[in-house]
């Protein structure tokens, strides 16, 4: 039963990543691109964790933590660059 739920969740997040990719490529404004990239990072974290459940190892959590941190810093740096034209003043 967990196997079916796992397959469903992986499919959902894969489809969600495709939606995000569409929004990155065809976005009306640059802030939508940043938002889509941030959501891609969040969905990738979910996929990493789901792959960890499937493989039965706890070794992927470090990867997901690193992904969360770099995703957050990248999004804030990008938004800050748009706001001020500079990241660290």
Partner 1 sequence: MELFWELLVSGLLVVGGFFGLVGSYGLVKLPDPMTRLHAPTKAATLGVGSVLIASMVYFAAFKGQVTAHELMVTLFLFLTAPVTAHFIAKANMLRDHRPEDLPRPEGEGDWAVYTPMSDTSAEELVETPELTDEDRR
Binding residues for partner 1 (CB under 8 A): 1-2, 4-6, 8-13, 15-17, 19-20, 22-23, 28-32, 34-36, 38-39, 42-43, 45-46, 49-50, 52-53, 56, 58, 61-62, 64-65, 68-69, 72, 75-76, 79-80, 82-84
Pull the structure tokens for residue 5: 């739920």
Alpha-carbon span 42 to 30, nearest angstrom: 19
Pull the structure tokens for residue 6: 């796992």
Least Cβ distance, residue 73 to partner 1 (angstroms): 9
Kindly report the number of other CB atoms within 10 A of residue 31's CB atom.
Answer: 12
Side-chain half-sphere exposure of 65, counting CA atoms within 13 A: 5
Of 5 and 88, nearer to partner 1 (C-beta) is: 5
Least Cβ distance, residue 69 to partner 1 (angstroms): 7
């Amino acid at each position: 039963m967990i196997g079916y739920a796992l397959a469903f969740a992986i499919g959902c997040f894969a489809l969600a990543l495709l939606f995000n990719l569409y929004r990155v490529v065809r976005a009306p404004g640059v802030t939508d691109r940043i938002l889509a990239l941030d959501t891609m990072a969040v969905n990738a974290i979910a996929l990493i964790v789901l792959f960890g459940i499937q493989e039965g190892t706890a070794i992927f959590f470090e990867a997901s933590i690193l992904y969360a941190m770099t995703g957050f810093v990248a999004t804030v740096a990008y938004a800050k660059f748009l706001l001020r034209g500079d990241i660290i003043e």
